C-alpha cells in the first residue's frame, strides 16, 4: 500500500526513482498490555523492480502473540550491499549489528534518553573500536 501511495497521484514518484528508497518502515497504533502504543509493525526493503512495479522483501513483521517485531528469514539485499561496502562479511556485519543492539538495549534499561548521554555512550563505543 505504501508503494502504491508513492507511485500514484498525488505524489506520482516515477517507479524508476523507487530505487533510491532502501527501506520502508510501517508504524501502527495498537493496544498492548492495555496501553495504546505506536510501534513498528513491518520493515521491508525495496528489492528491485518487476517491470514497472517495485518488489518488496519483508524483513521484519510484528507478531501479535509475542508482541515483538520478528525477523521473517528473508535474506536482505541491503545487508549484503552494506557488508560489501564496509569490507566485512555478512557474518561480521551481523555481529556488529548485534553489538550495537546490545548497546541500545543497555541504554533503554538504564533509562538513558538525554541526547548528551546518548552521544557519550556512542562516542565511547566507537573509541573502543
Q: Is the pTM of this model over 0.85?
A: no
Domain segments of the chain: what residues? 1-74, 88-129
Instruction: State mean pLDDT over 89-99.
Output: 93
pLDDT in tens, 22-32: 999 999 998 87
For 1-129, where are the E strands, in sequence order? 23-32, 35-50, 53-63, 68-71
- Residue 108: all three cell numbers together: 533503554
Which residue has cell 555512550? 121
Three-state DSSP state, 113: coil
89 or 3: which leads in pLDDT: 89
Q: Which of 46, 49, 72 is nearest to 59 (CA)?
A: 72
Amino acid at each position: 500500500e505504501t508503494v502504491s501511495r508513492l507511485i500514484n497521484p498525488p505524489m506520482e514518484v516515477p517507479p524508476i526513482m523507487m530505487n533510491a528508497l532502501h527501506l520502508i518502515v510501517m508504524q501502527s497504533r495498537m493496544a498492548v498490555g492495555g496501553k495504546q502504543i505506536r510501534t513498528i509493525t513491518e520493515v521491508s526493503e525495496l528489492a528491485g523492480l518487476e517491470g514497472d512495479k517495485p518488489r518488496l522483501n519483508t524483513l521484519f513483521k510484528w507478531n501479535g502473540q509475542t508482541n515483538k517485531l520478528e525477523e521473517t528469514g528473508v535474506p536482505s539485499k541491503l545487508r549484503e550491499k552494506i557488508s560489501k561496502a564496509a569490507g566485512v562479511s555478512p557474518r561480521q556485519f551481523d555481529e556488529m549489528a548485534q553489538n550495537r543492539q546490545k548497546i541500545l538495549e543497555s541504554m533503554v534499561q538504564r533509562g538513558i534518553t538525554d541526547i548528551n548521554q546518548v552521544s557519550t555512550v556512542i562516542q565511547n563505543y566507537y573509541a573502543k573500536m
